[in-house]
C-alpha cells in the first residue's frame, strides 16, 4: 500500500474501524492516523484520537480526510472541517446517499471530494467500493483514495455520479440479497423435510463456499453454473424454476431497480 500521508478518520464505527484495520494491516504507519469520534473507541496501538475537531493537534495537516459518519449527521459533523480545505487535502466520503454537490455545499466549491460506496464485506477484507471524484481531485489524490479503499477489497471508478444509485442497488444493498438467499434456501430445505439447523448449515456453507469458488476461479459465473448442471439432473430441474419466466433474474432486476429508485429518492 502506498504511503498516503497523514490520514484524518472522522468516525470510527464499523466501516471506519474496518478501513483503519485494513490500512494498518497493509503497512500504513499507525502514527500518521488521527481518529475523531465522540464515542471514544478503542484504537490500535500508535493511533491517536480525540472527541472532536478541537482535539486535532496543531500542525496536523492531513492529506486525506475520511468522512465515515452516518449520512443523517453528516451536515453537523462535516461542516467544521471546511477549515481544512486546502490544495493538498482530499475529502473522501463513505456516507451512502450523500452526493458530491452536498459536500461542496458544506466544504466549499474548491474542495477536492471523492464519493465512495463501499459494502459491508469490507469488514472481512472482501468488500467492493465504487468511487467518483469531482474536478478538483488530481491524479495522485485519486490514487491515494483508491489505495485506501483497496485495503478492504476491490475498487472501481465511475465518471458519471448518476450511476451511483445503481451501484447502491447492486453492491451497496447486495449483501442483504445474498443473506436472504441463505434464509430462503434454508426455509426451502425445511419444506423439503430437513431439520431446521441442518437446513441452515447446508444453505450457509453452500453460499459461502460457492462465493469463495467464484472468487478463486478464472471462470465466470455462467460457466461455473453450467459446470454443476448435469443434463436431465436435479440442478437442471431446479434451474428450470429459477431461470424461467418471472424467475430469479426478473425478481432480482425488479428488486435492484427499486433499490436504485429509492437511492435517488433519498438523495433528493
Q: Report whether pLDDT(244) > 60.
A: yes
Task: Return the CATH number at 243.
Answer: 1.10.3730.10
Whether residues 17 and 43 share a domain: the answer is: yes
Whether residues 153 and 40 share a domain: the answer is: yes
Distance CA 113, CA 64 (A): 10
End position of a domain, from candidates 167, 195, 225: 167
End position of a domain, from candidates 143, 167, 191: 167
End position of a domain, from candidates 150, 167, 184: 167
pLDDT tens-digit map of 151-195: 999 999 999 999 999 999 999 999 999 999 999 999 999 999 999
Average pLDDT of the chain? 95
Distance CA 230, CA 265 (A): 44
Structural domain that includes position 45 = 7-167
Distance CA 141, CA 252 (A): 36
Model-level pTM?
A: 0.91
Count Cβ atoms within 10 A of the Cβ of residue 140 and give its class: 0-12 exposed, 13-18 middle, 19 or more buried. Answer: middle
pLDDT tens-digit map of 99-114: 999 999 999 999 999 9
Task: Return the CATH number at 133.
Answer: 3.40.50.720
pLDDT tens-digit map of 20-31: 999 999 999 999
Amino acid at each position: 500500500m502506498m504511503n498516503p500521508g497523514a490520514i484524518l478518520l472522522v468516525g470510527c464505527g464499523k466501516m471506519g474501524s474496518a478501513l483503519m484495520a485494513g490500512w494498518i494491516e497493509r503497512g500504513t504507519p499507525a502514527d500518521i492516523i488521527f481518529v475523531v469520534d465522540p464515542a471514544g473507541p478503542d484504537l490500535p496501538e500508535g493511533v491517536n484520537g480525540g472527541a472532536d475537531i478541537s482535539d486535532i493537534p496543531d500542525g496536523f495537516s492531513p492529506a486525506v480526510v475520511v468522512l465515515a459518519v452516518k449520512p443523517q449527521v453528516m451536515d453537523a459533523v462535516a461542516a467544521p472541517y471546511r477549515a481544512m480545505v486546502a490544495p493538498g487535502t482530499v475529502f473522501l466520503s463513505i456516507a451512502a446517499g450523500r452526493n458530491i454537490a452536498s459536500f461542496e455545499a458544506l466544504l466549499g466549491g474548491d474542495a477536492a471530494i471523492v464519493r465512495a460506496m463501499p459494502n459491508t464485506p469490507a469488514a472481512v477484507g472482501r468488500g467492493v467500493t465504487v468511487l467518483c471524484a469531482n474536478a478538483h481531485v488530481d491524479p495522485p489524490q485519486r490514487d491515494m483514495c483508491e489505495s485506501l479503499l483497496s485495503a478492504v477489497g476491490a475498487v472501481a471508478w465511475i465518471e458519471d455520479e448518476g450511476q451511483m444509485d445503481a451501484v447502491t442497488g447492486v453492491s451497496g444493498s447486495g449483501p442483504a440479497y445474498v443473506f436472504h438467499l441463505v434464509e430462503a434456501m434454508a426455509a426451502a430445505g425445511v419444506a423439503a423435510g430437513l431439520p431446521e439447523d441442518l437446513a441452515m448449515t447446508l444453505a450457509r456453507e453452500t453460499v459461502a463456499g460457492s462465493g469463495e469458488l467464484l472468487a478463486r476461479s478464472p471462470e465466470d459465473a455462467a460457466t461455473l453454473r453450467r459446470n454443476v448442471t448435469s443434463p436431465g439432473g436435479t440442478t437442471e430441474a431446479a434451474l428450470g424454476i429459477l431461470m424461467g419466466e418471472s424467475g430469479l433474474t426478473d425478481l432480482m432486476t425488479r428488486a435492484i431497480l427499486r433499490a436504485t429508485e429509492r437511492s435517488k429518492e433519498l438523495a433528493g
